[in-house]
Amino acid sequence: MSLPQVTRPLPNPTQLDLIIQSLQTAKNPVILYGGGCVDVGHDAQRLAELIDAPTFLTINAKGLLPPGHPLSLGSNQSLDAGRAVITEADWVLAIGTELGETDYDVFFNGEFKINGTLVRIDCDAQQLQRPFRADIAVLSDAQMAIRGLCSRLEGQTFDHQALSRVNEAKQAILKDVTTDFAGQNALLKLIRDEVEDVIFVGDSTQPVYSGNLGLEALATRKWFNSSTGFGTLGYGLPAAIGAMVGSNLPVVSLMGDGGIQFTIAELICAAELELPLIVLLWNNQGYGEIRRYMEEGGLPLIGVNIKTPNFEPLAAGFGAGYRRITDRQQLLDALKKDTKGKQPIIYEIDEADDFLKEMAETVTYFS
């Protein structure tokens, strides 16, 4: 018995023509790319350039535009300056994105708004009208729709002042970047640039929250984590093992000292498979992010200041290696060796370490 053939919907040419027609009167358009675009490739970049529009990437769309692309505002659409670009836009093209809160309202204050004409392209008919109703809704595979739009725009020129709008937003974002936030992103970028084809698989932990906003991936399918949904603690380690087995590429699992205690026994699985999995363990002595929310809300600190294990003998017991990472060069040397090894290894980093603060001063945020 043969398996059923599933085909993706193709765009209605008349609807693509309608999109181009509506674009002609736009003064300050914006593009929102989502995870439905991960297989689109260069056409996504080309469309942004043809329209001359500031472009945002959801967490699952990271890597669709290269780091530092002049039209890219990365995944900063939940920050005030990023939101302002979208709110002030008179024309918004959203492709392959649910417009969900974990990408656009990560601080859950309900202030994400779309005021301009909303054009949506999605392969799910129901998704086209939620949570924001589209003015123009196109049921289509993202690749074919983007390719069709690019072909219609060839030869046309727009001057939407996108570069100045992007640069202004970047400067506003940089003013609010904290040292901790910058240091965590610097750490991730160092690993991204040092380990070829590396895949980051994250739990719910502070470097992941920072990276969701600030890290720009070199390619799609290189960054995923549980904090884009229900924030499942413990997910990052077993998911990283799966990613490594499935891709045969280097993988870094981003875990917190609290989250890893849910699934640390899975280290023995990685050891049995002789996987050189890097577990970057962020130690903030408990559930640091939840603790911060409680402190800011004036709540009693219940269940967040947990006892943190001694991870060195614990790692050894599961057949894994261990390093206490305290400076940049040590990390670089360790990565060169350990990614070619035959065992998983924990890199424990204390959030109070000064070397992250030093790195924050030397790494460009938008890069």
* 95 vs 306: which has the higher pLDDT: 95
Q: Based on the domain organization, do 129 and 252 belong to the same domain?
A: no
CB neighbours of 358 closer than 8 A, spacing ≥ 6? 328
What is the per-residue pLDDT for 208? Answer: 94
Q: Which tens digit of pLDDT belongs to each residue from 49-91?
A: 999 999 999 999 999 999 999 999 999 999 999 999 999 999 9
Residue 11 and residue 138 in contact, taking contact as beta carbons nearer than 8 Å: yes
Instruction: Give me Rg for the CA atoms of the chain.
Output: 22
Q: Based on the domain organization, do 329 and 207 belong to the same domain?
A: yes
In a domain, 263, yes or no: yes
Which of these, 51, 54, 55, lies nearest to 22 by C-alpha position? 51
Cis ω before 4 (30° cut-off from 0): no
State the CATH number of the domain containing residue 325.
Answer: 3.40.50.970
Distance CA 237, CA 245 (A): 13
- Side-chain-side CA neighbours of residue 83 (13 Å): 15
What is the per-residue pLDDT for 5? Answer: 67
Residue 357 banded pLDDT, cuts 50, 70, 90 = confident
Q: Which tens digit of pLDDT belongs to each residue from 135-148?
A: 999 999 999 999 99
Lowest mean pLDDT among 126-140, 182-196, 286-300: 286-300
Q: Based on the domain organization, do 161 and 200 belong to the same domain?
A: no
Which of these, 61, 26, 28, lies nearest to 166 by C-alpha position? 28
Among 119, 139, 173, where does a domain finish? 173
Among 141, 173, 205, where does a domain finish? 173
Q: Which tens digit of pLDDT belongs to each residue from 298-333?
A: 888 887 778 889 999 999 999 999 999 999 999 999
Domain, as residue range, for 43 = 13-173
Cα dihedral 281/346/261/75 (nearest 10):
40
Q: Based on the domain organization, do 288 and 164 belong to the same domain?
A: no
Among 130, 153, 173, where does a domain finish? 173
Average pLDDT over residues 7-15: 89
Average pLDDT over residues 172-185: 90
Average pLDDT over residues 169-180: 91
Average pLDDT over residues 24-36: 97
